[in-house]
Amino acid sequence: MLMQTHEARLSALREELRRQKLDGFVVPISDEHMSEYVGGYAQRLEWLTGFAGSAGSAIVLLHGAAMFTDGRYTIQVRDQVDGNLFEYQSSLETTHAKWLAANVTKGARIGYDAWLHTKGWADSLTAALAKKGAKLVAVHSNPVDAVWSDRPAPSNAVAVIHGDEHAGQSSAEKRSQVADWLKAEEIDAAVISALDSIAWMLNIRGSDVDRTPVALSYLIAHADGTAELFIAPEKITPELEQHLGNAVTIRDRVDFTGTLGTLSGKTVAVDPDYGVAAIYHALEAGGASPVAIRDPAIVPKAIKNPVEQQGHRDAQARDGAAVAKFLHWLSYEPSKGGQTELSAVAKLREFRDQTGVLKDQSFDTISASGPNGALCHYSVDEDSNRDIEPGSVFLCDSGGQYLDGTTDITRTVWIAGPGNKSEPTAEVRDRFTRVLKGHIQIARAIFPQGTNGAQLDAFARQYLWEAGVDYAHGTGHGVGSFLAVHEGPQRIAKPTAGQAGTHQELFAGMILSNEPGYYKTGEFGIRIENLVLVEKREIEGAEGRYLGFENLTWVPMARNMLDLSLLTSEEKQWWNDYHAKTRETLAPHLEGDALAWLNNACAPI
């Protein structure tokens, strides 16, 4: 009999903890690859608590439990997780170690799944619990899985070839690049466990994780340029075997742990952010020497080659036309009444499908009307679905997966009533324009080689700070090439402990989002997001090398939400130049009423 309530599930988990002689257990949103988005089989936290966000964790004790989320999910977690079952904790203010130190007693045994946590996390918590006379215990079997009777099986979809015409570089060249790095570092092999790194290195893709085209697998790359791919046999086709060639040995995924144990005497690189504790344990047990060092594919993957750069431009133009059709639809259809957040999601997907080459969405569309827009990572479902009401703010954050690029765009619009009689309030105009001004500052930024994202972040926030407001998310994240929509290591964000990407130097070829925002709880949310490409800038008389951003996303912004009095002449010129380029880029893809709407939306201010 299936357990339908979260109270029943929590009770069953506690019974399993008693059976395993544990006093508590840590439940993250994670899989064996430390992926941001995980397959259904790994959605343990959502099954247990009801929380549907992409970042969070829970600690369950025999008496008491806590739910940890960051500032993006402050409101959402309270809507989805029963406060009678879990106390709410901010992961920015209270760590697992601090909470457990205050809630466990001497002799307590706190369980964790070593395949779902990094070694650094486990070491830190082990030390913190030791001070309380308690112990962190790696479980042999995950107790959540033991009580999750209808847990989905991992995907068995086949892996597919990602052609060199889209990748821009052969797998052999990439493996050689990694082999050269291993030799230079005097390391024998590297365990590659991040799914998008494996996909990039081997020029393969898959459909095992929703919205991210990767295949569940592990890779061991050796200093001689060979590699071992650990993947379920049913995922391999003769075409893929031929593509991988003799230098890549294909092994069953279940053999991965055993193979780690055969690397005795070898020095093996393991990424501390993506290599889970169980990988370190297996290597050490087999006599190998693991070295915590960044996955050697991470930075090369982030620096897009010329083929990938052009692919992104092409994908953005195609996707931008689909979004423009959607914005045209929003300009008249919701004012008639009867449209909802979910119907908008379906309509936008319809326009993207009309391209004929859409592979998937790059994430679940954030379609947020009125107060739902204040939840910056809102996820619409049948329970939360709101009407798109005339006289309100509507925020839509969405993206597409295409063979030549991954897109991510946010537009915020005013839903006017019949006859366009309603207008945005002065407050909405003010906040929208301040967000835009920050967006423009990032778009126009010129900075010396060696600059990191943390150094740029305040450019986007300064005008909001002047008004005494801010936003609780980063300003920009990396984006992959037909891969993860959130791709490291580069970020534009406040320098926060544990977010190493904010200190990553920006290199020409990296792609980032530019997405400042503002959110007023219970009323509305505003975000403006384009993707940008880091490029070299030639400056006469420059002393050193300088970089800037090439804009990649071309879709009209909501001119009827502007407070023109807040814009400088330079910002108005940027707006006009941006929209002139938008018209030039999208007009060949549109016709009829949609083209007429585009021309009007791109008229100068």
Can you give the CATH number for the domain in which 135 is found? 3.40.350.10
Q: Which of 266, 301, 336 is the last residue of a domain?
A: 301
User: 54 pLDDT exceeds 90?
Assistant: no
Q: What is the mean pLDDT of residues 211-223?
A: 97
Q: pLDDT category, 500, cuts 50, 70, 90? A: low
- Can you say whether the dihedral through the CA atoms of 504, 506, 508, 510 is positive or negative? positive
Kindly state whether residue 389 falls inside one of the protein's structural domains: yes
Residues 295, 311: one domain? no
The number of folded domains in the chain is 3
User: 395 pLDDT exceeds 90?
Assistant: yes
Q: What is the pLDDT of residue 418?
A: 72
Pairing of strands 57-61, 65-69: antiparallel
The CA distance from 45 to 58, in Å, is 7
Residues 121, 239: one domain? no
Q: Which residues pair with 220 in a beta bridge?
A: 191, 228
Q: Where are the beta strands (DSSP E) in 139-260?
A: 160-161, 189-192, 204-205, 217-222, 227-231, 248-251
Q: What is the pLDDT of residue 498?
A: 47
156: three-class secondary structure by DSSP: coil
Kindly state whether residue 58 falls inside one of the protein's structural domains: yes
Residues 294, 309: one domain? no
Half-sphere exposure of 583 (CA within 13 A, CB side): 15
Kindly state whether residue 415 falls inside one of the protein's structural domains: yes
User: 367 pLDDT exceeds 70?
Assistant: yes
Q: What is the mean pLDDT of residues 453-457?
A: 96
Neighbours of 172 (CB within 10 A): 14
Residues 129, 165: one domain? no
User: 140 pLDDT exceeds 90?
Assistant: yes
Kindly state whether residue 224 falls inside one of the protein's structural domains: yes
Kindly state whether residue 168 falls inside one of the protein's structural domains: yes
Q: What is the mean pLDDT of residues 506-528?
A: 97
Q: What is the DSSP string of 312-358?
A: HHHHHHHHHHHHHHHHHHHTTSGGGS--BHHHHHHHHHHHHHTTS--
The CA distance from 392 to 386, in Å, is 12
Q: DSSP alpha helices (H): ranges in 231-276?
A: 238-244, 256-260
Q: What is the pLDDT of residue 497?
A: 45
DSSP 505: B
Q: What is the mean pLDDT of residues 68-89?
A: 90
Q: pLDDT category, 3, cuts 50, 70, 90? A: low
Kindly state whether residue 347 falls inside one of the protein's structural domains: yes
Half-sphere exposure of 554 (CA within 13 A, CB side): 27
Kindly state whether residue 596 falls inside one of the protein's structural domains: yes
Q: What is the mean pLDDT of residues 481-504?
A: 84
- Name the phi and psi angles at 135, rounded to 5: -140, 140
Q: Which of 279, 301, 323 is the last residue of a domain?
A: 301
Residues 487, 423: one domain? yes
DSSP 274: T
Residues 115, 71: one domain? yes
Residues 424-445 as b or e (16 or more Cβ within 10 Å = b): beeebbbbbbbbbbbbbbbbeb
Can you give the CATH number for the domain in which 522 is found? 3.90.230.10
Residues 429, 569: one domain? yes
Q: Tokens for 8?
A: 């029943």
Residues 410, 342: one domain? yes
Number of helices (H), then strands (E), in the chain: 19, 28
The lowest-confidence range among 51-55, 263-267, 478-482 is 51-55
Q: What is the mean pLDDT of residues 126-134?
A: 95
The CA distance from 576 to 603, in Å, is 8
The CA distance from 49 to 310, in Å, is 43
- Residues whose CB is less than 8 angstroms from the CB of residue 499 and which lie 6 or more positions away in sequence, other chains included: 491, 493
Q: Which tens digit of pLDDT belongs to each residue from 321-337?
A: 999 999 999 999 999 99
Pairing of strands 87-90, 65-69: parallel
Q: Tokens for 477?
A: 């994240």
Residues 281, 355: one domain? no
Residues 295, 317: one domain? no
The distance of Cα 451 from the centroid of its chain, to the nearest Å, equals 22
Q: What is the mean pLDDT of residues 541-565?
A: 97
Q: What is the DSSP string of 544-570?
A: S-EEEEEE-------GGG--GGG--HH
Q: Average pLDDT over the chain, rounded to whole?
A: 95
520: three-class secondary structure by DSSP: strand
DSSP 35: -
Residues 127, 220: one domain? no
The CA distance from 367 to 54, in Å, is 16
Q: Which domain holds residue 443?
A: 303-601
pTM: 0.93
Q: What is the mean pLDDT of residues 101-115?
A: 96
Kindly state whether residue 30 falls inside one of the protein's structural domains: yes
- Can you say whether the dihedral through the CA atoms of 161, 166, 167, 173 is positive or negative? positive
Q: What is the pLDDT of residue 72?
A: 76
Residues 392, 439: one domain? yes
Q: Which of 147, 179, 195 is the last residue of a domain?
A: 147
